[in-house]
Structure 1
Amino acid sequence: MEIQSESSMRRRVILFPLPLQGHITPMLQLANGLSEAVVSVADAVAVMTQVNDNCVEPFRDCLSKLLSNVEEEPIACLITDAMLHFTQSVADSLKLPRIVLRTSNISSFLVFAGTPLLHEKGYLPIKDPLSDAPVIEFPPLRVKDIPVVETHDPVKGQHLLLSMISQTKASSGLIWNSCEEIEQDAVTTLKQEFPIPIFTVGPFHKYFPAASSSLLSQDRSCISCLGTRPIARWPFLWVVRPGSVHGAEWLEALPRGFLEMLDGRGHIVKWAPQQEILAHPATGGFWTHNGWNSTLESICEGVPMICHPSFGDQQVIARYVSDVWRVGLHLEKKLEKGEIERAVKRLILEDEGQEIRNRTMDLKEKVDNFSKARGFGISGFRELG
Structure 2
Amino acid sequence: MSRVVLFPYPAQGHINPMFQLANILHHTIGFAISVVYTQHNAPDISRYPHFQFHLISDPVTDDNSLIPFRGNAINVLNARCARPFKLCLARILSEENNATVRCIITDAMWYSTQAVADELNVSRIVLRTASVHSSLVYAALPLFHQTGYLTSMEARAEDAVPEFQPIKVKDIPTFGAKDQNSIVEFFSNVFTETKRSSALIFNTFEELESPDLAKLRRQFDMPVFAIGPFNKRFSAAETSLRKQDRSSIDWLDTHAPQSVLYVSFGSIAAMDKTTFLEVAWGLANSGQPFLWVVRPGSINGAASAGSEVLPAEWAEKVSGRSCVVEWAPQQEVLAHSSVGGFWTHSGWNSTVESICEGVPMMCAPYFADQMINARWVSEVWRIAINLERVFARRDVEEGIRRLMTTAEGVEMRRRVAALKETAAACLGPGGSSYEALVGLSKFIMELG
Taking structure 1 as the reference length, the TM-score comes to 0.93
* Deviation of the 1:116 alpha carbon: 1.7
Counterpart code for 1:100: V
* Deviation of the 1:157 alpha carbon: 2.5
Are the equivalent residues in 2 in contact too, given 1:43–1:151 (CA < 8 A)? no
CA separation in 2, counterparts of 1:34 and 1:215?
A: 22
* Deviation of the 1:274 alpha carbon: 0.3
Counterpart code for 1:358: R
* Deviation of the 1:110 alpha carbon: 0.5
CA separation in 2, counterparts of 1:361 and 1:301?
A: 8
CA separation in 2, counterparts of 1:27 and 1:45?
A: 23
Counterpart code for 2:327: W
CA separation in 2, counterparts of 1:258 and 1:50?
A: 44
CA separation in 1, counterparts of 2:444 and 2:226?
A: 13
Equivalenced residue count is 376
Indicate whether 1:190 and 2:246 are aligned. Answer: no
CA separation in 1, counterparts of 2:122 and 2:78?
A: 18
CA separation in 2, counterparts of 1:152 and 1:136?
A: 25
Cα distance change on mapping 1:129 and 1:382 into 2, 3 Å: farther
Deviations 1:349-384 (A, max 9, x none): 111111111111111112222222322432232123
Indicate whether 1:382 and 2:373 are aligned. Answer: no
Tell me the residue number matched to 1:346.
402
Are the equivalent residues in 1 in contact too, given 2:174–2:183 (CA < 8 A)? no
Deviations 1:140-199 (A, max 9, x none): 111221112113543332221111110000101101001111100110000011111111
Tell me the residue number matched to 1:3.
none
For 1:154-169, what aligned pairs fall within 5 Å after superposition?
154-169=180-195
- SS, match of residue 287 in structure 1: strand
Tell me the residue number matched to 1:57.
83
CA separation in 2, counterparts of 1:79 and 1:308?
A: 32
Indicate whether 1:278 and 2:334 are aligned. Answer: yes
For 1:332-371, what aligned pairs fall within 5 Å after superposition?
332-371=388-427
Counterpart code for 2:3: R
Tell me the residue number matched to 2:9.
18
Unaligned runs of 5+ in 1: 1-9
Indicate whether 1:261 and 2:317 are aligned. Answer: yes
Tell me the residue number matched to 2:253.
227
Tell me the residue number matched to 1:127.
153
CA separation in 1, counterparts of 2:153 and 2:22?
A: 42
Counterpart code for 1:19: P
Tell me the residue number matched to 1:241.
295
Percent identity, please.
45
Cα distance change on mapping 1:333 and 1:150 into 2, 3 Å: closer
CA separation in 2, counterparts of 1:253 and 1:160?
A: 38
CA separation in 2, counterparts of 1:325 and 1:162?
A: 29
Indicate whether 1:66 and 2:57 are aligned. Answer: no
For 1:82-231, what aligned pairs fall within 5 Å after superposition?
82-128=108-154, 131-151=157-177, 153-230=179-256, 231=259
CA separation in 2, counterparts of 1:150 and 1:128?
A: 13
* Deviation of the 1:73 alpha carbon: 1.7
Are the equivalent residues in 2 in contact too, given 1:85–1:168 (CA < 8 A)? yes
Counterpart code for 1:239: V
Tell me the residue number matched to 1:325.
381
Tell me the residue number matched to 2:345.
289
Are the equivalent residues in 1 in contact too, given 2:235–2:331 (CA < 8 A)? no
- SS, match of residue 243 in structure 2: coil
CA separation in 2, counterparts of 1:130 and 1:43?
A: 27
Counterpart code for 2:293: V
* Deviation of the 1:287 alpha carbon: 0.3
Tell me the residue number matched to 1:314.
370
* Deviation of the 1:122 alpha carbon: 2.4
Tell me the residue number matched to 2:273.
none
Deviations 1:311-354 (A, max 9, x none): 11000000000000111111133421111111111111111111
Are the equivalent residues in 1 in contact too, given 2:14–2:107 (CA < 8 A)? yes
Are the equivalent residues in 1 in contact too, given 2:294–2:327 (CA < 8 A)? yes
Are the equivalent residues in 2 in contact too, given 1:129–1:144 (CA < 8 A)? no
- SS, match of residue 71 in structure 2: helix
Deviations 1:247-276 (A, max 9, x none): 321123334532233212111111110000
Moved more, 69-78 or 130-139: 69-78
Are the equivalent residues in 2 in contact too, given 1:43–1:152 (CA < 8 A)? no
**2:23 aligned residue (32, 35, 41):** 32
* Deviation of the 1:234 alpha carbon: 2.6
Are the equivalent residues in 1 in contact too, given 2:150–2:180 (CA < 8 A)? no
Are the equivalent residues in 2 in contact too, given 1:178–1:201 (CA < 8 A)? yes
* Deviation of the 1:42 alpha carbon: 4.4
* Deviation of the 1:94 alpha carbon: 0.4
Counterpart code for 1:350: T
CA separation in 2, counterparts of 1:47 and 1:121?
A: 25
CA separation in 2, counterparts of 1:148 and 1:254?
A: 32
CA separation in 1, counterparts of 2:231 and 2:407?
A: 31
- SS, match of residue 208 in structure 2: helix
